[in-house]
């Protein structure tokens, strides 16, 4: 490489400045000059040479002296702890590797067919959990224990169908309320059960056959009818494959549920999609007393609303929260409505003021802060415009208003759009567009006069509810029955170590 003469000064300057101690660099957060670094390196070199000389002298003495136990013992006392620590780390790394490989094998079994995971592999995973506990690796042990429960629940669906309900209830330490099977696709199907006040009901369901990637169930909703705002709904996220490649469910299983604040009849509705006619959905409803709700479900629990304008339901979720649902940041509480599983670092949560927040698992705790900070007013809420998504009294009122306007204006919009589409002249198309614009203006005026006013009235109720929630947390902030935040963090760190 050729360097122009007038550039030599630029190349030499840093070394001259460094020798004078004027050029500084940052090493591991510590600022040093090049001169200091050079001196440091020279000192290390001298120290290393001295150590090598001492080591050589010591080894020579040990080899020639039959009574050199003191010297040999001194050398052994410094090397053995290092060797032991290295060996322990290698054992731990191997345990993690073996666990990861075992997980991959079990996941593959679930994805590829209807067979149950072999009992030997379940036993092997249980032994991994014990090994992590004995090694003091509690994060890994917690995650493996959680994963084991999932595998056992999935195996319950893959065994004798007559025993599935009892096997699920035994694993979750609950009782079977009802169970059955649904068939029919591309239209809503449903079943009912009776809920008692103070109890929680987890609906665990599973497609009879895995089918294609697009086959499955969706649009789950637990409807309490006129008492729907007293039904606190939740769901548990599906476990999926992780890492490179396609992100997909390990199995076509679904977990939805609700805790009842009053006794009521609950209707569970959903829609299925599958090829052929032989497939369907098996379901089991597991009952727990509210204070006996299993931690396995609570760790990943995601609260959900009947609709966006359910004032009473929103208030109940905060002042009588679902088991473990509330976590805390440094100054406010959160409801983690999109918690995900332990594999994921980030969660999405609601604030009491109807905002959404992105939270890291390691940044939340289960104990309230010493001082809360809330916004003066909550965010304005929009109600659903469609009747199928409205279930609360307030939500239904606004959705019915929009339905009435649509019934009145839709035929006029359709007629004006047809006129524009069929116009044979530019003037005809312009006139049709003017008619569309006029209808849009009229529609907006009607919305402002009717539906928007109703929505504004509901938001006044939300302000009152918000004040109630703030007062509740300022004076009586709830603490969960177990440290959910700590377990969420520990499981996340455990799976990261394993993977």
Query: What pLDDT digit, counting tens, does each position of 254-271 carry?
Result: 999 999 999 999 999 999
User: Distance (Å, rounded) from C-alpha 134 to C-alpha 111?
Assistant: 32
Residue 196 in contact with residue 231, Cβ under 8 Å?
no
Residue bearing tokens 């339905």: 403
Domain segments of the chain as ranges: 1-38, 85-158, 173-320, 387-476
How many CA atoms lie less than 13 Å away from 246 in the CB half-sphere? 6
The closest alpha carbon to 383, from 396, 364, 367, 369, belongs to: 396
Dig out the tokens for 223 from the structure: 């409807």
Query: What is the chain's mean pLDDT, rounded?
Result: 86
User: Distance (Å, rounded) from C-alpha 338 to C-alpha 235?
Assistant: 9
Mean pLDDT of 378-393: 93
CA 256 to chain CA mean position, Å: 15
User: Distance (Å, rounded) from C-alpha 46 to C-alpha 31?
Assistant: 23
**Torsion sign (Cα): 114, 120, 126, 129:** negative
CA 399 to chain CA mean position, Å: 31
Residue 345 in contact with residue 499, Cβ under 8 Å?
no
State residue 247's pLDDT score: 72
pLDDT interval class at 76 (50, 70, 90): low
Reduced to 3 states (helix: H, G, I; strand: E, B; else coil), residue 236 is strand
Task: Look at the chain and count its residues.
Answer: 499
CA dihedral 292, 157, 281, 304 (to 10 degrees): 30
Kind plus residue range of the DSSP H or E element containing 98: helix 69-112
User: Distance (Å, rounded) from C-alpha 444 to C-alpha 439?
Assistant: 9
> What are 397-427's pLDDT values in tens digits?
999 999 999 999 999 999 999 999 999 999 9
User: Distance (Å, rounded) from C-alpha 346 to C-alpha 307?
Assistant: 25
State residue 171's pLDDT score: 97
State residue 148's pLDDT score: 97
> What are 331-381's pLDDT values in tens digits?
999 999 999 999 999 999 999 999 999 999 999 999 999 999 999 999 999
CA dihedral 392, 394, 400, 405 (to 10 degrees): -150
Q: Taking the domain 173-320, which CATH number applies?
A: 2.60.120
User: Distance (Å, rounded) from C-alpha 17 to C-alpha 462?
Assistant: 67
DSSP letters, 421-451, are HH--SHHHHHHHHHHHHHHHHHHHHHHHHTH
Mean pLDDT of 189-208: 97
> What are 219-252's pLDDT values in tens digits?
999 999 999 999 999 999 999 886 555 677 899 9
Residue 208 in contact with residue 280, Cβ under 8 Å?
yes
Q: Is the pLDDT of residue 52 over 70?
A: no
State residue 451's pLDDT score: 97
The closest alpha carbon to 81, from 92, 89, 70, belongs to: 89
Reduced to 3 states (helix: H, G, I; strand: E, B; else coil), residue 112 is helix
Q: Is the pLDDT of residue 446 over 60?
A: yes
User: Distance (Å, rounded) from C-alpha 283 to C-alpha 272?
Assistant: 13
Residue bearing tokens 């410094």: 78
The closest alpha carbon to 204, from 178, 173, 232, 241, belongs to: 178
């Amino acid at each position: 490489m050729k360097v122009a003469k007038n550039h030599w000064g630029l190349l030499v300057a840093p070394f001259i400045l460094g020798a004078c101690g004027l050029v500084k660099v940052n090493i591991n957060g510590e600022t040093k000059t090049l001169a200091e670094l050079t001196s440091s390196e020279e000192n290390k070199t001298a120290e290393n040479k001295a150590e090598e000389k001492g080591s050589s002298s010591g080894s020579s003495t040990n080899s020639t002296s039959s009574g050199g136990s003191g010297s040999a013992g001194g050398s052994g006392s410094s090397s053995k702890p290092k060797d032991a620590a290295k060996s322990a780390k290698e054992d731990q790394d191997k345990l993690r590797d073996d666990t990861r490989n075992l997980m991959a094998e079990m996941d593959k079994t679930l994805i590829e067919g209807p067979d149950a995971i072999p009992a030997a592999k379940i036993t092997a995973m249980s032994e991994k959990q014990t090994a992590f506990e004995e090694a003091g690796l509690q994060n890994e042990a917690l995650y493996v224990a959680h994963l084991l429960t999932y595998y056992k629940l999935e195996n319950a669906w893959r065994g004798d169908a007559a025993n599935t309900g009892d096997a699920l209830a035994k694993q979750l330490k609950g009782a079977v309320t009802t169970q059955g099977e649904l068939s029919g696709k591309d239209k809503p199907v449903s079943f009912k059960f009776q809920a008692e006040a103070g109890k929680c009901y987890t609906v665990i369901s599973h497609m009879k056959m895995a089918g294609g990637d697009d086959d499955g169930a969706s649009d789950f909703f637990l409807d309490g009818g006129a008492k729907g705002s007293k039904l606190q709904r939740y769901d548990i996220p599906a476990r999926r494959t992780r890492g490179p490649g396609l992100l997909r469910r390990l199995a076509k299983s679904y977990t939805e549920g609700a805790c009842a604040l009053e006794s009521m009849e609950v209707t569970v509705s959903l829609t299925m999609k599958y090829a052929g006619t032989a497939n369907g959905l098996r379901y089991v409803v597991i009952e727990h007393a509210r204070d006996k709700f299993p931690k396995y479900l609570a760790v990943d629990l995601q609260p959900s609303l009947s609709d966006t304008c359910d004032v009473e339901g929103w208030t109940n979720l905060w002042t009588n929260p679902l088991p473990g649902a509330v976590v805390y940041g440094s100054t406010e509480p959160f409801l983690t409505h999109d918690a995900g599983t332990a594999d994921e670092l980030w969660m999405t949560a609601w604030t009491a003021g109807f905002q959404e927040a992105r939270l890291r698992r390691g940044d939340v705790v289960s104990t309230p802060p010493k001082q809360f900070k809330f916004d003066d007013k909550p965010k304005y809420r929009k109600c659903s415009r469609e009747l199928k998504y409205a279930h609360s009294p307030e939500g239904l009122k606004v959705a019915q208003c929009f339905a009435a306007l649509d019934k009145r204006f839709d035929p006029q919009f359709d007629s004006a759009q047809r006129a524009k589409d069929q116009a044979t002249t530019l003037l005809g198309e312009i006139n049709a567009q003017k008619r569309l614009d006029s209808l849009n203006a009229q529609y907006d005026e009607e919305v402002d006069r009717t539906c928007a006013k109703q929505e504004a009235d509901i938001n006044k109720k939300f302000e009152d509810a918000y004040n109630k929630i703030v007062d509740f947390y300022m004076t009586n902030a709830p603490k969960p029955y177990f440290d959910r935040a700590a377990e969420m963090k520990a499981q996340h760190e455990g799976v990261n170590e394993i993977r």
